[in-house]
A and B are shown apart, each in its own frame.
Chain A
């Protein structure tokens, strides 16, 4: 299996690793059974993501997609971030091996889970993008719905 140089760069020098103790929102997705867990911490000022950190348990691609996703959303507005897709993460990483596509899905879901957490905390109704894991990566055996 061959990772792109970008993937290896983001794996070996992950951006935004860590935690935000006073985070405005936290999103955690995945399960240890399928081997990947991502946790994303957000600092949100009004509509804008001012800081983001992540913690990931997983393979090289899981770390790289987490790192890239945090880069893609830093400084963006929530509306912009809601449009983030796993495809954008894959493209930004110059591709992923087929067996690792689910990691990019997980990264997208982790970001959305964090925003959903923010909306819930602030009593904002969830939009369609935020109704949770669609199970489309199939990594944990959950059926697509």
Chain B
């Protein structure tokens, strides 16, 4: 049995998305910038895809810029917003301690370039406090960037409140919504979002394609120079098939959102309930304000990678923190931001579900995981000392 429970890393491409893409590889393969009919066909499709993605977010089609994915959208938005701030003499930036590295490393780079950055706390629950945002905003604040939902612990941030506050204060607001789009209802107008990043492969679309939403009236600067694609802001021949696949996947996710949320949440909640019964287990992130498919636990006394390897041997695909963290020795910055000790943070497990999972698979995880935890604890000197302290 293979159970894929790593949907925050990436998802399977949906049948509808795949079918929508196929003709764009060999039939409508034209360059959208070409004058001839094969090119025009591709151009027409792009217009439709852009319109659809805009509508889903409550945006205008002129506000959507296609990118190579979430990372590029984040890098673009932050580079631009920092530049714009610097031109006005505003060199203070606000973000959180739990951003994805596509955001966090941009801020670290900007710090080296002379910007000052406030990293907001997320407290025990992994959620930013609105009063902290208010207190952090200064006269010289160029922009605020707070992720919509966290990739590791799934916590959903009060985006509409932050958006409203930033709008009132006249500060630009960006959100990395890579984990949220397709899973949560988002309306950029209602939530006062100025810029938003999204990525197709997190909602059953293909990899290598995403988008940046940038509100009309903000004079977005070019990111890639060359051709006149993306309203002259991002040169490079469009990934037509990928964009078509992204629109089709989003179309389906948006249409089935309520139904999927109900199904996925039920599986998530059962998993959380059962894993809470494991002694010395800690649920990371707010119990309710979290993505429908996110389960993240620390099991004291064991180390995450060992757990992943044993799970993999049982056919269960999971992750320990962000997949991007796996090459490093340090525990996840997100778990440390929750105030967890290093040793506990090393024992984290992330299971992320989608509507493709089944209740049977949840049963299987519930059956196998505690055995694995038990096995690793039996050989762990850390567990031995935890038990001794209790006696």
- Residue ranges of A at the interface with B (Cβ–Cβ < 8 Å): 1, 8, 11-12, 14, 17-18, 28, 32-39, 54-60, 62-63, 99, 102, 139
Q: Nearest Cβ distance between residue B16 and chain A, in whole angstroms?
A: 34
Partner pick for B309 among A14, A57, A60, A99, CB 8 A cutoff: A60
Contact A33 B327 (CB under 8 A): no
How many residue pairs link A and B with beta carbons under 8 A? The number is 68
- Which A residues lie within 8 Å of B328 (CB)? 99
- Which B residues lie within 8 Å of A38 (CB)? 381
In the complex formed, the residue of B with least CB distance to A3 is B309
Tell me the bound Cα distance from A54 to B303 in angstroms. 16
Q: Classify chain B's interface size.
A: 20 to 34
Partner pick for A99 among B313, B329, B379, CB 8 A cutoff: B329
Tell me the bound Cα distance from A8 to B327 in angstroms. 18
Contact B381 A55 (CB under 8 A): yes
User: What per-residue 1/0 map shows which CB atoms of B290-328 lie under 8 Å from chain A?
Assistant: 000000000001111110011001000000000000111
Q: Nearest Cβ distance between residue A113 and chain B, in whole angstroms?
A: 13
Q: With A11-B309, A35-B329, A63-B306 known to touch, is A57 a contact of B301 (CB < 8 Å)?
A: yes
Please name 6 further chain A to chain B contacts, defined as beta carbons within 8 Å, in addition to the given A62-B306, A102-B329, sorted by A numbering.
A55-B379, A55-B381, A57-B380, A59-B303, A63-B379, A99-B328
Tell me the bound Cα distance from A8 to B326 in angstroms. 18
User: Does B85 count as interface, using CB distance less than 8 angstroms?
Assistant: no
- Which A residues lie within 8 Å of B303 (CB)? 35-36, 57-59, 62
User: Does B383 count as interface, using CB distance less than 8 angstroms?
Assistant: yes
User: Does B20 count as interface, using CB distance less than 8 angstroms?
Assistant: no
- Residue ranges of B at the interface with A (Cβ–Cβ < 8 Å): 301-306, 309-310, 313, 326-329, 331, 341-343, 346, 378-384
Q: With A32-B382, A37-B382 known to touch, is A58 a contact of B331 (CB < 8 Å)?
A: no
Contact B342 A32 (CB under 8 A): yes
In the complex formed, the residue of B with least CB distance to A38 is B381
Contact B306 A11 (CB under 8 A): yes
Contact B327 A99 (CB under 8 A): yes
- Which A residues lie within 8 Å of B305 (CB)? 59-60
- Which B residues lie within 8 Å of A99 (CB)? 327-329
Q: Nearest Cβ distance between residue B170 and chain A, in whole angstroms?
A: 43
**9 A-B pairs, CB-CB below 8 angstroms?**
A11-B306, A32-B382, A35-B343, A37-B380, A55-B380, A55-B381, A59-B304, A60-B305, A62-B303
Contact B381 A59 (CB under 8 A): no
- Which B residues lie within 8 Å of A36 (CB)? 303
Among the interface residues A32, A34, A36, A139, which one has the most CB atoms of the partner chain B within 10 A?
A32
Contact A57 B382 (CB under 8 A): yes
Contact B343 A33 (CB under 8 A): yes
- Which B residues lie within 8 Å of A28 (CB)? 381
Partner pick for B306 among A34, A60, A102, CB 8 A cutoff: A60
Among the interface residues A17, A18, A34, which one has the most CB atoms of the partner chain B within 10 A?
A34
Q: Nearest Cβ distance between residue B28 and chain A, in whole angstroms?
A: 40
Q: Nearest Cβ distance between residue A114 and chain B, in whole angstroms?
A: 13
